[in-house]
């Protein structure tokens, strides 16, 4: 389990996974999206993700004497199933969350260190508490996905800026003997 988490949450591999979440891609496509990663490093991480069944090669074709591979996410390869999450210890979850948070911190630091346009850039962060039933929580997740999906496949082009959106759903832990007021 930890190996899968390490595979997914490594900064370079996370970028590859995020690109492949848009759809299948060749190395050239990935180089266009992940411009800050040297080609040799990109190949090394693609190999690691493939060997660990996070991604797979869905097509190989000859292009000017070389074999061009098209990669895709393995079904559920980049996600933890409910069963996998249940098998993880509290420490595993905390470590994964810290890695997730560290990736966000790195993105934030890169943004702040760059030429920011506060008030003009699509930038912000907040925390919002919602009171929802289990059914409403599932509906909320579906609706968020429906809103985001049309944008996931967008390719980097002139006039488009990459923005990162991170979500963490953390239910409030009830204390013993505490019940919701109906």
- What's the pTM? 0.66
Give me the architecture of the 2-152 domain, per CATH: Orthogonal Bundle (1.10)
Q: How far apart are CA 146 and CA 94, in angstroms?
A: 29
CA 22 → CA 3, 36, 39, distances in Å? 24, 19, 20
Q: Of 164, 151, 158, give the one whose Cα is nearest residue 123.
A: 164
Average pLDDT rounded to a whole number, residues 87-111: 86
The answer to whether 156 and 33 have CB atoms below 8 angstroms apart is: yes
Q: Are 16 and 46 in contact (CB under 8 A)?
A: yes
Residue range 136-147, pLDDT digits in tens: 999 999 999 999
Q: Computed from CA positions of residues 77, 81, 86, 89, in that sequence, does the dihedral angle turn out positive or negative?
A: positive
Q: What is the pLDDT of residues 5-19, one digit of tens each?
A: 778 878 899 889 988
Q: Residue 119 pLDDT > 90, yes or no? A: no
**What integer pLDDT is reported at residue 180 of this predicted model?**
56
The CA distance from 166 to 127, in Å, is 12
Tell me the per-residue pLDDT of 10-67, one tens digit each, with 9 for 90 and over: 889 988 998 888 889 999 999 988 888 999 999 999 999 999 989 999 999 988 888 9
Per-residue pLDDT of 129-181, as tens digits, reads 999 999 999 999 999 999 998 888 787 788 888 888 888 888 888 776 655 55
CB 80 within 8 A of CB 92: no
């Amino acid at each position: 389990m930890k190996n899968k988490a390490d595979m997914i949450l490594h900064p370079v591999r996370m970028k590859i996974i995020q690109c492949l979440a848009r759809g299948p891609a060749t190395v050239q496509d990935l180089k266009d999206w992940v411009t800050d990663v040297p080609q040799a490093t990109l190949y090394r991480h693609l190999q690691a993700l493939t060997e660990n069944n996070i991604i797979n090669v869905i097509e190989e074709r000859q292009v000017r004497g070389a074999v061009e591979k098209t990669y895709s996410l393995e079904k559920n390869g980049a996600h933890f199933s409910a069963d996998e999450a249940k098998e993880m210890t509290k420490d595993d979850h905390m470590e994964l969350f810290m890695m997730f948070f560290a990736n966000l911190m790195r993105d934030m630091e890169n943004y702040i260190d760059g030429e920011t346009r506060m008030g003009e850039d699509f930038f912000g962060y907040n925390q919002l508490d919602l009171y929802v039933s289990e059914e409403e929580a599932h509906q909320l997740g579906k609706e968020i996905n429906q809103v985001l999906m049309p944008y996931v496949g967008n390719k980097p082009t002139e006039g488009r800026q990459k923005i990162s959106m991170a979500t963490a759903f953390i239910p409030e832990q009830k204390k013993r003997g505490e019940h919701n007021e109906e």
